[in-house]
């Protein structure tokens, strides 16, 4: 399929590393003027430079702002008042026994994983509606529907994003704007490598550690490996395009078959 986002503008929150960085690169490669985001200005500038080299001719900008806070989101809106494609990618995760998760940790996860996405969608959707075209995506997780025992606090925030996404899609019915969630399965990123090591130990070579993690902690995966970020980005870029004009209000799975549902 030929996906051409020339003339569109895109913003990806939390995109200086991991899945978000790859999503930003793929959107830019498809022609969208893409803005990446992180809290540290130096890191944002560095990644903008890297991506411009990796994707020759791409139009890539950066905004340093902590969008998990109202103040940081306001700073972003001042620099980038409107976009055509919004990818709510920002998120944090770490294992912790649920009975040891204190109020501050619950609140931190809610602010970063949920409120950042709500604020960004609430700001950018009216402009999309008025222009008659827009794409909003919430990066969810298999943990939204298969709550992991070691990360209940994380899974709950991703469950919330499924509800938020569906609700916004209903609010934008008939406007030319689509809103979807992407259910990403266990994905090979820097953070996940650390997570895997926390669970299976540091004594195994990475390839064996990955296999052991999937065998013990994600045995339902049908591909029996971690997903690569590019595989997630492919779905995001498709949903950002005109080709996905009839797909809205959905929870699209790129989970390696981990979630044991016939219907999403």
Active site residues: 154
Residues in the chain: 264
What is the three-class DSSP state of 85? Answer: strand
Gap between the Cα atoms of 134 and 177, Å rounded: 4
Q: Which of 240, 52, 34 is nearest to 137 (CA)?
A: 240
**Own/partner pairs for 227-230, CB < 8 Å, 24+ apart?**
227/184, 227/185, 227/186, 227/187, 227/188, 227/254, 227/255, 227/256, 228/187, 228/188, 229/18, 229/19, 229/21, 229/22, 229/23, 229/187, 229/188, 229/189, 230/22, 230/26
Q: Using only C-alpha atoms, what is the Rg of the chain? A: 18
Positive or negative, the CA dihedral 106, 202, 16, 179 is negative
Gap between the Cα atoms of 87 and 48, Å rounded: 17
Q: What DSSP state is assigned to residue 235?
A: H
């Amino acid at each position: 399929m030929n996906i051409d986002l020339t003339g569109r503008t895109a913003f990806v929150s939390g995109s200086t590393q991991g899945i978000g960085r790859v999503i930003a690169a793929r959107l830019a490669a498809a022609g969208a003027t893409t803005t990446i985001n992180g809290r540290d200005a130096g890191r944002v500038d560095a990644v903008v430079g890297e991506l411009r080299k990796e994707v020759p001719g791409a139009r890539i900008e950066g905004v340093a702002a902590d969008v998990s806070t109202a103040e940081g989101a306001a700073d972003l809106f001042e620099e980038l008042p409107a976009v055509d494609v919004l990818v709510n990618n920002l998120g944090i995760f770490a294992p912790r026994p649920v009975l040891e998760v204190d109020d501050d940790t619950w609140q931190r996860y809610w602010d970063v994983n949920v409120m950042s996405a709500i604020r960004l969608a609430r700001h950018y959707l009216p402009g999309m509606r008025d222009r008659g075209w827009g794409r909003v995506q919430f990066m969810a997780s298999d943990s939204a529907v298969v709550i992991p025992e070691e990360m209940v606090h994380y899974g709950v925030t991703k469950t919330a994003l499924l509800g938020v996404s569906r609700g916004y899609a209903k609010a934008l019915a008939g406007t030319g704007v689509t809103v979807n969630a992407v259910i990403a399965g266990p994905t090979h990123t820097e953070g996940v490598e650390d997570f895997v090591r926390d669970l299976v130990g540091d004594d195994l070579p990475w390839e064996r550690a990955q296999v052991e993690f999937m065998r013990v902690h994600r045995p339902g995966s049908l591909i029996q490996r971690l997903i690569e970020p590019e595989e997630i980005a492919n779905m995001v870029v498709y949903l950002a395009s005109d080709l996905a004009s009839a797909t809205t209000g959905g929870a699209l799975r790129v989970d390696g078959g981990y979630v044991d549902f016939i219907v999403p």
